Amino acid sequence: AQKITQTQPGMFVQEKEAVTLDCTYDTSDPSYGLFWYKQPSSGEMIFLIYQGSYDQQNATEGRYSLNFQKARKSANLVISASQLGDSAMYFCAMREVSGGYQKVTFGTGTKLQVIP
C-alpha cells in the first residue's frame, strides 16, 4: 500500500485564486510528521510547511496552510492568492520512526500551473 498518495497529477489555477492540493497518508505510528515541499523546474526542493501528528492547530506559513484531518488521514495543502511563481511540482511527505530510525516517504507529486 502507498504510504503517501497524491491523486492529482496536475492542477490549474487562475492567478489570485486559492487552490487545494490533496494528500492522504497511511501509517500505524501514532507519532509522525507531515510536510509539503515545492520543486520548481530548477530541481531544488523548497520546504513549505510542517504538521506534527499531535499538533492541535492546522499549520500555516504565509499563503500556505495545511488542512490536517487526522481521522481521515489527509493533509491537504491550501495555497491562497496564487501567484505565477507558484507554478511548480508539489510533494507531500511523511516522517515516521521505523526500527528506531527516522524515515521520510514522498508522494508522487502534483504539478501546479498558475494561469495569468
The 8-47 site mask, x for binding other proteins (CB under 8 A), equals ------------------------xx-x-------xxx-x
Chain-centre distance for alpha carbon 42: 19
Asked if 102 is part of the footprint of other proteins (rule: CB under 8 A), the reply reads yes
CB-based contact 24:5 (threshold 8 Å): yes
| Cell numbers found for residue 79 | 495555497
The neighbour count for residue 112, using CB atoms within 10 Å, is 21
Beta carbon nearer to other proteins, 14 or 102: 102
Minimum distance from residue 113 beta carbon to other proteins (Å): 14
Number of residues that bind other proteins (CB under 8 A): 23
Asked if 91 is part of the footprint of other proteins (rule: CB under 8 A), the reply reads yes
Degrees to nearest 5, angle at CA 92 with 90 and 98: 150
Distance CA(42)–CA(45), nearest Å, equals 9
Binding interface with other proteins (CB under 8 A)? 6, 32-33, 35, 43-45, 47, 50, 52, 91, 93, 95, 99, 101-109
